[in-house]
Structure 1
Amino acid sequence: MTAREVHLPVAAQSGVDSLVSYARRAERAGYGRVWSPETWGRDAVASLAVLAERTDSIGLGSSILPVYSRSPALLGQSAATLQEVSEGRFRLGIGPSGPAVIEGWHGAAFDRPLRRTRECVEVVRRVLSGERVEYDGEVFQLSGFRLRSKPPETPPPVDVAGLGPKSVELAGRFADGWHAVVFTPDGVRERLADLERGADLGNRDPSELRTTLSLTCCALEDRERARELARQHTAFYVGGMGTYYRKSLARQGYEEEANAVAAAWGSGEREEALGAIPDDLLDDLCAAGTPEEARGMIERFESVEGLDALAVSFPRGATEDEIETTIEALAP
């Protein structure tokens, strides 16, 4: 059975208290975990520490911490600390992000993302073991680092986000799970084959890997408002976040639509970009409409064999009330 979780909003919220409110609401409603993104808003590690202190039982995770904005040793330290303060409820999600974020926002070169991600996974695991870290990689060379605090009795799992075949294969070969975003049901199925191939290459059991899909959801009595918010969100990701999501969508059979959205967005024609997203594409990427409609759409994704968790995510333009309404409407 697919677990249902919550992916906290990527858009700026009124305060950390609003994130706590969503997490507590999700905990009361029976969701299994809340994931905190790290984009251009609040620092995810600090936010997760607050959530750990102000929730009781719900799982916590990062989705995702970019591997360019923190060193692998620091990622390991952060994971160890969050596992401690959450009393074993934490799961670390990392990934390369993309050039628009890494070069544009952090001023770092987006170089060898797959290799860097792999080495980060390996270093983080060594840090969490509590042993002295001696690592000679192609990207990182570390010597002498060791946690001075007690390492976690149960190290948190390390998941990797990825869109393309090679990045998902990497997750299967080296990580404990895969995080997917902006995928159709068939797109998830196709990438799961890459995950299994990676597991085979790493002599691992694919059934032990955890696959999580972050799905844009908006469940409102005002159907048109819900769908407009989801359409705006999709256009932003495909048109405004570099080429990665556009290329991923093209691989999933929507090349013409993805190129049309990106071209219109790049020309500043926002309404034209929204109009380039037909209803069938919106329904293949999101669960947006009335509560009854959205629940039915979610079930299409949860029926994908091999998908372990579906994280209810929210459009960038949704208000706090609309986010809370959606959490309640789509509760497991």
Structure 2
Amino acid sequence: MTVRDIYLPVAAQPSVDALVGMSQLAEDAGYERVWLPETWGRDAVTTLTSIAEHTDGVGIGTSVMNVYFRSPTLIGQTAVTLQEVSEGRLRMGVGPSGPIVIEGWHGVDFERPLRRTRETIEVVKQVLDGETVNYDGDIFQLSGFRLRCDPPDPVPPVDAGGLGPKSVELAGRFADGWHALLMTRAGLRDRLEDFEGGTALGDRNREDQRVTLSLPCCALDDRERARDLTRQHVAFYIGGMGTYYRDALARQGYEDTAYEVAEKWASGEQAAATDAIGDDLLDAIAVAGTPEECREQIGRFESLSGVDALNVSFPRAAERDDIEATIDVLAP
């Protein structure tokens, strides 16, 4: 059965209390988990701690915490702490992000993202086991660390984000799940083959792993506003967040559109970049329109074989009323 989660917005939110309120609304509406990324908004750890303290049953998760800003050992400690304060409701998501974020915003070299992600996952799992961490990797050489508190029970799963074939294979091989974003149905099927190939290489049990697909969603009575907000959001990711989303879209059969959007965005023509997102592409990777349309659209994504959870996310320019309306319309 495909479950529904919420991907909390990071842009232009007025307060931590607002994010807590959205999480409480999601809990009351029956969503399984709320995820929070770390980009240019509030840090995930402090915010998720507050959410955990003000909710009772909804799961929490990082999607994704990048592997460059914290050491793998500290990420493991963070997972231990979040699992404790949430009383066992954590699912940890990690990933490399991209060079715009890592180098441009934080001044850290974006080197060997796949290897760094793999080694981070392996070290985090050692920390979570509660045993002494001894690790001899290509990037990290660690010895002697051991938790001075009880290890978590249950141990939280550790997922990985990824867009390309190799990163998705890595998630299948070493992580407990994969987080997918801006995927068409056909593109997702291709990447699921990579994920399941990694599962086989790692001798993992696919039934113990979770694939989570994030969908930009906006369900409003004002159909055009819903679709315009979502179209702007997609254009921003393709044009304003480096080459990863552009290239991922190109691999899925939208190469001309992906490069047109990226070129127009880079030239300062953001309105033209947004207009280049046609209805066919919008409907292929997002859920946007009237409440009735959106319920039908999300049902088509739920029918995809191999997807375990749908993550309802929101356009970056959506206002709180838009977000809360969409949470209500798309409640499980």
Q: Say if 2:33 and 2:58, in contact at 8 Å, map to a contact too.
A: yes
**8 A Cα contact 1:92 1:159, kept in partner:** yes
Query: SS of the residue aligned with 1:80?
Result: helix
Residue 105 of structure 2 aligns to a residue whose secondary structure is coil
The alpha-carbon deviation at position 145 of structure 1 amounts to 1.0
Alignment-derived partner of residue 231 in structure 2: 231
AA paired with 1:259? Y
Task: Give the 3-state SS of the residue equivalent to 1:304 in structure 2.
Answer: coil
Cα distance, 1:296 vs. partner? 1.0
- 1:14 paired residue number: 14
1:291 matched residue in structure 2: 291
The correspondence of residues 31-70 of structure 1 with structure 2, limited to 5 A, is 31-70=31-70
Count, aligned residues: 332
Q: Which runs of 5+ in 2 are unaligned?
A: none
Q: TM-score, normalised by structure 1?
A: 0.99
- 1:172-191 matches, within 5 Å, as 172-191=172-191
Matches within 5 A, 1:297-312: 297-312=297-312
Alignment-derived partner of residue 204 in structure 1:
204
Amino acid at match of 2:150: K
Which amino acid in 1 is paired with 2:158? V
How many angstroms apart in 2 are the aligned matches of 1:222 and 1:294?
12
Corresponding residue number in structure 2 for 1:155? 155
Answer yes or no: is the 8 Å Cα contact 1:135–1:143 preserved in 2. yes
Which residue of structure 2 lines up, in the alignment, with residue 137 of structure 1? 137
CA distance in 2, matches of 1:12, 1:65: 20
- Alignment check: 8 A CA contact 2:10 2:42 kept: no
Task: Give the aligned partner of residue 23 of structure 2.
Answer: 23
Q: Which whole-Å CA distance do the structure 1 matches of 2:105 and 2:265 have between them?
A: 20
Structure 1: which amino acid aligns with 2:195? L
Task: List 4+ stretches of structure 1 deviating above 3 A.
Answer: none
Deviates more, 1:178-187 or 1:110-119: 178-187
CA distance in 2, matches of 1:11, 1:214: 17
Deviation at 1:300, TM superposition (A): 1.4
RMSD: 0.7
Give CA-to-partner distance per residue, 1:142-171, whole Å, 9 cap, x none: 111111111112110000000000000000
Query: Contact 1:121 / 1:174 at 8 angstroms: preserved in 2?
Result: yes
- Aligned letter for 1:212? T
CA distance in 2, matches of 1:86, 1:158: 16
Q: Does 1:108 align with 2:104?
A: no
State the alpha-carbon separation in 2 of the partners of residues 53 and 274 from structure 1: 39
Q: Which secondary structure does the structure 1 equivalent of 2:154 belong to?
A: coil
Identity of aligned residues (%): 65
Q: TM-score, normalised by structure 2?
A: 0.99
Distance in 1 of aligned mates of 2:38 and 2:291: 28
Per the TM alignment, residue 271 of structure 1 is displaced from its structure 2 partner at its CA by 1.1
Aligned to 2:90: 90
* 1:39-92 per-position Cα deviation (integer Å, ceiling 9, x unaligned): 100000110101110000011111010000111011000000000010000000
